[in-house]
Structures are given as C-alpha cells and as structure tokens.
Structure 1
Amino acid sequence: MPPRPLEIGPAGHAAAQAIERTRTARGYSQRQLAARVTALGRPMTFTALSRIERTVRRCDIDDLVAIAAALGTAPQALLADTCTPSGVAGGGAT
C-alpha cells in the first residue's frame, strides 16, 4: 500500500492563498506564472500551480522559492501570513 500523503497544514494554506493573491495582484494568469517559473529553471505546469493554490498539492520549498522569484517577491512575503503570533512559524505561547 502506498504511503498516505501528508496533510497540508495552516502554513501551507496561508502560503497558497498568498501565492494566488500575489499572482492576481500582478495580473498573471496561472499559465503565465507557471511559464515564468519554468523559465527560471523550475518546470511547472499551470495544472500544478492550480493544485498548489487550491491546496490539493503541497508546495515544496523549491517551488515556493521559484514562484516567489517569478512573482518578483521574497519567499518570506508568501509566508508572512504564517509568521503571526497565532501562526505556525510565529510560535504562539511562550
């Protein structure tokens, strides 16, 4: 039996929303952004990008870095929503 895929957590959901929000703010379609990511050396189809944005597919760190570069932003900007005190990367209670 194949291993069960890991569930996408809150940080993954927030990053997916940030990718879609930034993409639309820049005026790129999913096809255009996927082509830009591919041109940077990280092959990506628009279907893969769509699945990332819909949180059907996990966005690995290499995808995140390439998508950020194609969007002209820092990877941290796509993770910003996850770095709040209640977010995963922000820690929470001390």
Structure 2
Amino acid sequence: MGHKFSLVLSREITDEESAVLREGFEGAVFSTDALPTDAEVAVTRIDFDDEVSPSLAEAIESALESVRTVPDLTVPGLSVPAVPQAPAEEQADEEA
C-alpha cells in the first residue's frame, strides 16, 4: 500500500504544465475540480498513491517541490485520507 494523498492546485493547468508535472508524478491521476473556498473556480486536482517514497511526509514534499517548478502555481489544498490504526497487539509485535 502506498502513501495516498491529494493536492488541489490554485488553478486549472495547461497541457504543457500537465506534461511537466506528469514527469514527476508517476501514476498520479489528474482531474478538474472546484476550489474548496469558491465552487465557481475550476482547478486541477492530483490524486497520488506513492509506492516509492519511504514516508508520507517525503511523498508530499516531493509533490510540492514539483508543483513549485511551474510558475504562478500554488497548492491551496491538501487532503490525506485517514489510515486505520493497527490494533495494539499488532503494533507491539511490530515494535518488538
């Protein structure tokens, strides 16, 4: 299981920008969405399932760094689904 999260970009991206971002986002799914604070503003949403990064934090940082390579593009939204916690017994076994 990879590290799952989504970025909502500040605007819709162009085909050229999409090509640049897809290079760094293997397996990411790009879609059109609405800005969370203004449903009338169309934006691009990128859903990730990162199987490569050693941690969720590193996966998110890598994605943010790639977005920063595109001029005038920011990330006003990040969502990370809840991950079920293993029962206490399993956690103790893993720590041992």
| TM-score of Structure 1 vs Structure 2, range by shorter chain | 0.3 to 0.5
Q: Give the structure with higher Rg (CA).
A: 2
Q: TM-score, normalised by structure 1?
A: 0.35
Judging by fraction of residues, say which structure has more helix: 1
RCO (CA 8 Å, sep 6+): is it higher in 1 or 2? 2
Judging by fraction of residues, say which structure has more strand: 2
